[in-house]
Structure 1
């Protein structure tokens, strides 16, 4: 995902994503949440993390807009949110910042109060590293930094600053073919897992990856194969079930089901000792409600939301997410790929309300 459009699902999507803005730019249209900049919040003690539920709805919040994630969550009804994104300020850096801005470092003064409010309301947040912009500018942490120990230290700082229970890595575009970055990232995650275990912490790790409508492409598979080779525990593989760019239309709920089935089959090859139920429990799906970047042939409808909810519950899928909370309104009928509206006729927060009961 990226600031001006969500993450792409295949390499072909790069043709539609050439107009990406800088990570600090706000999307067009009025924001549906508070515009207070998180960096202005005074330092606060971040309360203890909440354990990630077996089934969780955790939509992405576009942090680069200045929206307070806790305000977005309260208005939408979502208890959990995914925060997009963390990356380095420039290529070659080993310092992780929110939105790639050195004015938004990993600190309790930046989003600390948001975490506290989310936890007080019975939810929490999952920070996500990477995204389209980072993955195409070598500012994704493991692509930018060539020191595994430095990457490890940054991840440990992120976890301890916010007392995290899950960290997500959004790997797409160039980061899918950067074999050195893939290997550094997995080695660092493995080191963090060892550190967490020795310090009495349990932190989950997820990969958000592009997908075809029948499962992962070769890049996503390479990321997971390398994780297995490095003895890296990956708890959830969250696939981006949109932006297929196949030149034909899709019934998007059906495409979600076939993409996830392909993932589960692949997980069977990678983790042969896991049962079918255990593999489905590793699955996450991220939808783009309404009209995605490809256009009207890839429209995720309000009816699709109900279908996906029932299917996910029946399969035991771990996570439903969406790109992004700020799009969950009907303010731009017929418009595709907007960051601030879905492009379909809907009530505000329709998709959030449809999926919020999934958290349990």
Structure 2
């Protein structure tokens, strides 16, 4: 994900290298596991504020922390934002993370990001596996992140120059295999989440090569999270529909490297990260509140693992009408944390506002005011939004939320409400 270089980052000539030859034993995690389906927006660590307080205000129990990186190329030491005053230590955000975990939530630290992965501005690659060439030292830094904050999943945001660095890709995956073996030996859970750029039709060759290398190195990838924005393919008419085609293309590729997995298992490896409001492309690529409703429904229908957006500080209408992307507002006319509150019910165990057993559900099939059968035949290739009707096998059906390709009546809690026989 994009962020501007911080002018206040410390520069240093000292090189801190952790030359680990093995990973120390550690007690098993006591934190609450990440749910099977989780909403976890990105949090811009460099903007300040209390992580726990902001997450509570937004109604987001899980937060993805962006970003940990080295202070300069050649270093093997992680810092938050690459700032040497913010080491990976309890003194850096530890109490705030503890507060989130005490409420039953958790954080997902993220390594990399556009600034670390791109050398265009200053010639520096500060993503850990590009900066450091010692696989054991890379593994030791990842282990330190896990044990310092008692986390079970780490996100690796790999893009720009980093995704095209075959040496860095291979070092990272070799280090991840070491850490996963350490975690298993110590009774810990360590889930790898890769966040990758995408086209509107799925991963580019560089993303596919990264995942093939992960398989070759024996890394168990839990989530492949695609950034469904900044396509650089021109203005986009429907960002929600682009999310559908991008993730469908991703699953088609995942089938080729995980042939034993079912479609449901593959969809449960998928992550979706939107850029709310105006993207880096500009107003021609704007993710709206209506798009959020559609993507939430799609994510539920497919059973994806992870739903997110860039970024929590941007979930406010403080710059409505802005023509370019901003760090602290979306560019839309919206309520504060409106996107967060739309996506929050995605997390496993949250109340489903479209539960068909809810007596207040306006699409309840027993509602006597439902319309009579006058709808066009259902089509597998047509997108249906909430409230749209279709006829299928002698009954009229009403879409409870956005759906594509799912037959009416195919699932007990599916997207269709039966309005009765035609």
Q: Same fold (TM over 0.5)?
A: yes
Determine the structure 2 residue equivalent to 1:74: 56
CA–CA distance in 2 between the matches of 1:114 and 1:24? 23
Determine the structure 2 residue equivalent to 1:127: 109
CA–CA distance in 2 between the matches of 1:267 and 1:240? 16
TM (norm. structure 2) is 0.75
* Matching of residue 22 in structure 1 with residue 15 in structure 2: no
* Matching of residue 301 in structure 1 with residue 285 in structure 2: no
CA–CA distance in 1 between the matches of 2:304 and 2:200? 17
**Which structure 2 segments of 5+ residues have no match?**
10-28, 119-123, 349-422
Report the alpha carbon displacement of residue 69 of structure 1 after superposing the two structures with TM: 1.4
Determine the structure 1 residue equivalent to 2:94: 112
Quickly say closer, same or farther: Cα 1:319–1:23, change in 2 above 3 A: farther
CA–CA distance in 2 between the matches of 1:158 and 1:2? 22
Identify the structure with the greater helix proportion.
1
Report the alpha carbon displacement of residue 57 of structure 1 after superposing the two structures with TM: 0.3
Taking the TM superposition and a 5 Å limit, the aligned residue runs for 1:43-122 are: 48-122=30-104
Superposed CA deviations along residues 286-335 of structure 1, whole A, max 9, x for unmatched, are 00111111112211111111111111001000011000000001111222
Q: Which has the higher contact order (CA 8 A, sep 6+)?
A: 1
Taking the TM superposition and a 5 Å limit, the aligned residue runs for 1:150-299 are: 150-299=137-286
CA–CA distance in 2 between the matches of 1:283 and 1:78? 20
Quickly say closer, same or farther: Cα 1:83–1:166, change in 2 above 3 A: same
Superposed CA deviations along residues 19-73 of structure 1, whole A, max 9, x for unmatched, are xx22757xxxxxxxxxxxxxxxxxxxxx932201011000000001122211110
Please say if residues 96 and 106 of structure 1, whose CA atoms lie closer than 8 Å, have aligned partners that are also in contact.
Answer: yes
Q: How many residues align?
A: 323
**Which structure 1 segments of 5+ residues have no match?**
5-20, 26-46
Taking the TM superposition and a 5 Å limit, the aligned residue runs for 1:312-351 are: 312-335=299-322, 336-351=324-339
Determine the structure 2 residue equivalent to 1:143: 130
- After TM superposition, the runs of 4+ consecutive aligned structure 1 residues lying more than 4 A away are none
Report the alpha carbon displacement of residue 250 of structure 1 after superposing the two structures with TM: 3.1
Quickly say closer, same or farther: Cα 1:194–1:23, change in 2 above 3 A: farther
Report the alpha carbon displacement of residue 161 of structure 1 after superposing the two structures with TM: 1.0
CA–CA distance in 1 between the matches of 2:298 and 2:181? 35
Q: Secondary structure at the match of 2:208?
A: helix
CA–CA distance in 1 between the matches of 2:301 and 2:236? 26
Please say if residues 77 and 353 of structure 1, whose CA atoms lie closer than 8 Å, have aligned partners that are also in contact.
Answer: yes
Determine the structure 2 residue equivalent to 1:11: none
Superposed CA deviations along residues 114-170 of structure 1, whole A, max 9, x for unmatched, are 111101222110000000111013110000000001001111111111111101100
Determine the structure 2 residue equivalent to 1:357: 345
Q: Secondary structure at the match of 1:212?
A: coil
CA–CA distance in 1 between the matches of 2:251 and 2:296? 18
Determine the structure 1 residue equivalent to 2:3: 3
CA–CA distance in 2 between the matches of 1:99 and 1:229? 31
CA–CA distance in 1 between the matches of 2:60 and 2:252? 30
CA–CA distance in 1 between the matches of 2:336 and 2:207? 33
TM (norm. structure 1) is 0.88
Please say if residues 23 and 64 of structure 1, whose CA atoms lie closer than 8 Å, have aligned partners that are also in contact.
Answer: no
CA–CA distance in 2 between the matches of 1:163 and 1:227? 24
Measured on the aligned residues, the alpha-carbon RMSD in Å equals: 1.2
